[in-house]
Amino acid sequence: MRHVVLLAAALGLGPALCGQTNYGPSYTAAGIVNAADNQVGPLAPNTIASIYGVRLSYVTQAISPNDIDGGVLPTVLPGTGVHVLVGNLPATIYYVSPDQINFLVPANLLPAPSTVQVVLEGQAGPAVQITLAAASPALFQLDDVNAVAILPDGTVTTPQAPAKPGDIILLYATGLGQTLPPVPYGQVFDQAAPLEQLADFKLVLDGVTAESDAVAYAGIAPGFAGLYQINVILPKSTQANPEIQIGFGKQLSKAGVHLPVAL
């Protein structure tokens, strides 16, 4: 499920003993992606990410509320034996299956070259080289075309039930980098925390950067891990079904994603 907010992952497993055929999990750097838009490229601390491969797990299992103990997130789901290491730090695991694992890049890592490695019941895969950047913006999507956008009453906007210019909408993203205060490593953060780079954050509609007052809040989605929330007041000038991107400077989320809006 590639566009679901809480599932994102990466994994890897690899060589068996020298001289023996490898029957463990198999993956490459091309299969490590941002979970929101499935784009290959730099990840950021506190980003939900995915790895796609084969033989990644013996079971299919997702995180449950019982796996979160006192706000501390699990680094292995019970009964799965799957661990993901990012820069040698255990990452939170959201979901495992034979061909996909969703995980959270530890929030306390710094932008730099790093590695992703998965261990399945003691069998370690290769340490795949990745790059960690300060941010890797990505919007969660409703489908291949439309971003997830929710009205304050909880209604999900769709082409059949679009928003209108002037409406307040809530967008969800990952990869937006550090916040103030910083997100604790391995814990659910239950407070609002705006982006550390908030002054540089921008919302782009149909290629035009919106005025800063269009963004009422951009930061952690309280009660989640790796999920960011952007509260937007749609400008009156918003056109029908505009292309939407978010990010910092030239580092923007994927092009070709739209907001369901009707005039």
When the pLDDT of each residue in the chain is averaged and rounded to a whole number, the result is 91
- Same domain? For 234 and 165 the reply is yes
Residue 190, in any domain of the structure: yes
Mean pLDDT of 169-194: 95
* Look-up of token digits 């509609």: 205
Residue 101, in any domain of the structure: yes
Domain span at 114? 29-132
- Same domain? For 148 and 235 the reply is yes
Mean pLDDT of 243-251: 97
- Same domain? For 99 and 33 the reply is yes
Residue 99, in any domain of the structure: yes
pTM of this prediction? 0.90
- Same domain? For 182 and 122 the reply is no
Residue 156, in any domain of the structure: yes
State yes or no: pLDDT of 1 exceeds 70: no
Confidence label for 110 from pLDDT (cuts 50, 70 and 90): very high
Structure tokens at 61: 């299992």
Mean pLDDT of 116-134: 94
- Same domain? For 49 and 149 the reply is no
Q: Is 99 left (phi over 0), alpha (psi -120 to 50) or beta?
A: alpha
**What confidence score (pLDDT) does residue 137 get?**
98
For residue 67, the SS3 value is helix
State yes or no: pLDDT of 17 exceeds 90: no
pLDDT-above-90 percentage for the chain: 88
- Same domain? For 40 and 108 the reply is yes
Mean pLDDT of 91-104: 98
Q: Give Cβ neighbours of residue 31 (< 8 Å, ≥ 6 apart).
A: 51, 52, 53
**What confidence score (pLDDT) does residue 146 get?**
98
Expressed in angstroms, the distance from the first to the final Cα of the chain is: 32
Residue 6, in any domain of the structure: no
Residue 45: closest CA among 86, 83, 76: 86
Buried/exposed 139-165: b ≥16 CB within 10 Å, e otherwise: bbbbeeebbbbbeeeeeebeeeebbeb
- Same domain? For 237 and 147 the reply is yes
- Same domain? For 57 and 99 the reply is yes
Number of domains within the chain: 2
CA 101 to chain centre: 13
State yes or no: pLDDT of 3 exceeds 80: no
- Same domain? For 196 and 123 the reply is no
- Same domain? For 93 and 158 the reply is no
